[in-house]
Homo-oligomer: A and B are copies of this chain.
């Protein structure tokens, strides 16, 4: 099995199994990898033989510890590159993912070490996702999208994922700028719009807007 294929499977299994159940179905993998389920069946069998996953027929697939270790190293490479592209080369947050999808497959430990060093060993990438360290350890992030926030909690605005001028102008108007402290008052049941306090003023924002604001839990 080609190393790039293995890496893409492991990475995808990793992403699908964090958050939800640690067992991933063939259908889920097929959808993410843009192949048909039959192809996945073949692949996970091979990965099982390589002891990178545990695959149980008609049940699902989960990473072994060595598969998990490998997945974390790919995620590390991906996020280090994303950070590097953004910080050192001035790429926008929306451009870095696609390029990092290719760069992540270059296996050269020294290269990643040098990149990380130059960046001052960052723990989070430009999207706020945590970067696993050399040993695969992940620093837990307290950055979330405002759309995932809970009522009666306080947050600090850390960034946006939509850089359009109109969106930034909108935020400016409501003082929802980087560093602003906000307090979440209510989430409407029927449309998930959010009512919050920002600089002693009440602001109501749509779920679409909340999706594009990154906040830190205080």
> Do the beta carbons of A114 and B99 come within 8 Å of each other?
no
Interface residue A23 (Cβ < 8 Å from any Cβ of B) = no
Total copies of this chain within the assembly? 2
User: A89: which of B90, B102, B115 is its contact (CB, 8 Å)?
Assistant: B115
Interface of A is mostly: helix
Interface size on A, residues (CB 8 A): 16
> Do the beta carbons of A99 and B91 come within 8 Å of each other?
no
B contact residues around A118 at 8 Å (CB): 88-89
B contact residues around A103 at 8 Å (CB): 103, 106
Interface residue A108 (Cβ < 8 Å from any Cβ of B) = yes
- The interface bits of chain A over 76-119 (1 if a CB of B lies within 8 angstroms of the residue's CB, else 0) are 00000000010011110001000100110010101100110010
10 contacts between A and B (CB under 8 A): A88-B88, A89-B111, A89-B115, A89-B118, A91-B110, A91-B114, A95-B110, A99-B111, A102-B108, A103-B103
**CB within 8 Å of B: which residues of A?**
85, 88-91, 95, 99, 102-103, 106, 108, 110-111, 114-115, 118
